[in-house]
Structure 1
Amino acid sequence: MGALEVRVATRDDVEALVALLQRWGADDDPDEKVVRYRERLASNVEHPAHHVVVALVDGEVAGYAAAQDYGPALHQDRSIARMHDLWVSPAARGRGAGTALFETVRDWAEREARIGMLQWQAGTVAVGFYRTLGLEAEDADAGRGDFALAVHLPGRDDA
């Protein structure tokens, strides 16, 4: 495997991520989706409540993960963070990039003192990947084939 690096995404990474979406995405309306994706990604890489990281393999962007801190509920001191995306290009899968992206988002959530839980959903195709990380789905949405997952971060849950 080539050199793997995970770092915080910048505006300079947006076009590389858009190019990956265009290359590997399969959508009925790709042009409209790409425009929306580019706009949201450019906004999120600079938004303080969002945490977007990229995986580089041999210096080339090969995937990303995006999470958001929703802030604390009115009755709690802890926040819930949601991982919106974790995606690695098919050409780079199986080489540690997905695990590194997930661990980077998890580390970010654990460092943020107010975050007590990291949640996300995964399609059936990704459940095996999350099981290799020792995680299990909490429930399934039978209509969409999505599984809800959550990690309770140490020392931050209100018991």
Structure 2
Amino acid sequence: MTISNELARPATEADIGCLYELTTMFTPELQVRIEEFETRCRGLLNDPRWFVAVANGPNALSGYVAVQDFGLGLRGSFCVGRIHDLFVIPTARRSGTGRALVESAFAWAKDRPSPMILDWQATPESVLFYESLGFKADYVGDFPECPGFTLDLRQN
């Protein structure tokens, strides 16, 4: 199955350099050396438990999403997934790019072999974005300033 829409598409190894630039903008304080990033990114792109999608901008990539499927637990008939990263460059925000990336992540999660509960945490700046998609922020947790969100796909 092809998971893409007008704005978002699955990332390829050709995108690794641009992904590095985007992650550097997203969290410069957590950045790894480019060589380590390339190795990690290649591993994720080739691992079926991971989904990385990018959004094309006018001159370069304008955003990305990275999602992981942790698989089935010992007691349940569903798996747990996590959106680790969703980042859109400031000039592409409010253009539908974030929505397209999230929708591509949701489509991937829905297509997994087992039903999934997908969760993620939001930065304070992105809470309104997720709420505009119909999600309710959960402020209980380790980082109340970065609330959690959940998409339960067990019934879909």
The bucket for the TM-score relative to the shorter chain is 0.7 to 0.9
The alpha-carbon deviation at position 20 of structure 1 amounts to 2.8
Aligned length: 151
The alpha-carbon deviation at position 136 of structure 1 amounts to 1.1
Q: Which residue of 2 aligns with 1:126?
A: 126
Q: Which residue of 1 aligns with 2:93?
A: 93
In structure 1, distance between residues paired with 2:104 and 2:84: 14
String of CA shifts for 1:81-116, please: whole Å, max 9, x gaps: 111111111121111100000011011111224132
The alpha-carbon deviation at position 36 of structure 1 amounts to 4.6
Aligned structure 1 segments of 4 or more residues deviating by more than 3 angstroms: 25-30, 32-39, 140-144
Report the residue type matching 2:9 in the other structure: R
String of CA shifts for 1:42-64, please: whole Å, max 9, x gaps: 22111111011111123631111
Please tell me whether the aligned partners of residues 115 and 154 of structure 2 are also in contact (alpha carbons under 8 angstroms).
no
- Would you say 1:117 and 2:131 are equivalent positions? no
Task: In structure 1, list runs of 5 or more residues that go unmatched.
Answer: none
Q: Which residue of 1 aligns with 2:102?
A: 102
Instruction: Give TM-score, length-normalised by structure 2.
Output: 0.84
In structure 2, distance between residues paired with 1:154 and 1:46: 26
- Would you say 1:79 and 2:79 are equivalent positions? yes
In structure 2, distance between residues paired with 1:126 and 1:21: 16
Please tell me whether the aligned partners of residues 67 and 83 of structure 2 are also in contact (alpha carbons under 8 angstroms).
yes
- Kindly report the root-mean-square deviation, in angstroms, between the aligned alpha carbons of the 2 structures: 2.3
The alpha-carbon deviation at position 19 of structure 1 amounts to 2.2
String of CA shifts for 1:15-42, please: whole Å, max 9, x gaps: 01112334x3463575x46555443222
Structure having the larger proportion of residues in strand: 1
Please tell me whether the aligned partners of residues 117 and 154 of structure 2 are also in contact (alpha carbons under 8 angstroms).
no
Task: In structure 2, list runs of 5 or more residues that go unmatched.
Answer: 1-5
Instruction: Give TM-score, length-normalised by structure 1.
Output: 0.82
Q: Which residue of 2 aligns with 1:10?
A: 12
- Would you say 1:138 and 2:131 are equivalent positions? no
The alpha-carbon deviation at position 155 of structure 1 amounts to 1.4
Report the residue type matching 2:146 in the other structure: D
Q: Which residue of 2 aligns with 1:27?
A: 28
